[in-house]
Amino acid sequence: MPRNTDFTKYGEMRMVAEYVAQAYPDDIVYMRLRLGSLAPDGPRPELKPEEAAMAGVFRRWADAVVITTDELIVIEASLRSDTGDPSKLVVYGRLVPHTPELREFMNRRLVLELVVSVEDPVVRMVAQELGIRCRRYEPKWFPEYLAQLHRRERRPVQTRGLLAPQEPET
């Protein structure tokens, strides 16, 4: 079966939209929110004011940001868990205080949340060590997505001893 790259490309956007609608139905949700300062780094005298204002378009973005009564939740979603996801969330968390769109919500507790469908136990372990909340979410259309993947891509990578009890060194 040939791969449907559009399905893969838009699958994560669809997944995160469905997840936040189900998990946070009554809360404020920002999809693909750009994070960080609107201003370019350092003085840029060569830029006209309107050009400097456009620099904000090049900010990093979170898949979703959810505002509850007591939490500001930054979400990174992946159909298949990726080793880079926890580090993305750490960077996003550092950008939140510099994000003007979130200024009014800074009194809430910051929560970083990783949402995946195919979980990698090592990524989950690292994320939890970093204080990241981990959630597994499998959309109804997920079997259709899995059907287009190679068999090895349908399951998490092997841990290769990272989760096994370690022998004490002598």
The pLDDT tens digits for 114-145 are 999 988 999 999 999 999 999 999 999 888 88
Amino acid at 169: E
Q: Give the chain's mean pLDDT.
A: 85
Mean pLDDT for each consecutive 10-residue tract of the chain (170 residues)? 56 94 98 87 74 69 97 95 95 96 98 94 95 96 79 60 58
Cβ of 22: how many Cβ atoms within 10 Å?
Answer: 10
**CATH: 3.40.1350.10, 1.20.1250.20, 3.30.310.10, 2.130.10.10. Which one for 5-154?**
3.40.1350.10
**Report field, pTM of the whole predicted structure over 0.85:** no
- Confidence (pLDDT) at 1: 43
Q: Would you list the domain boundaries of the chain?
A: 5-154
The pLDDT score that the predictor gives to residue 24 is 99
**pLDDT computed for residue 46 by the predictor:** 80
Return the pLDDT at 44. 72
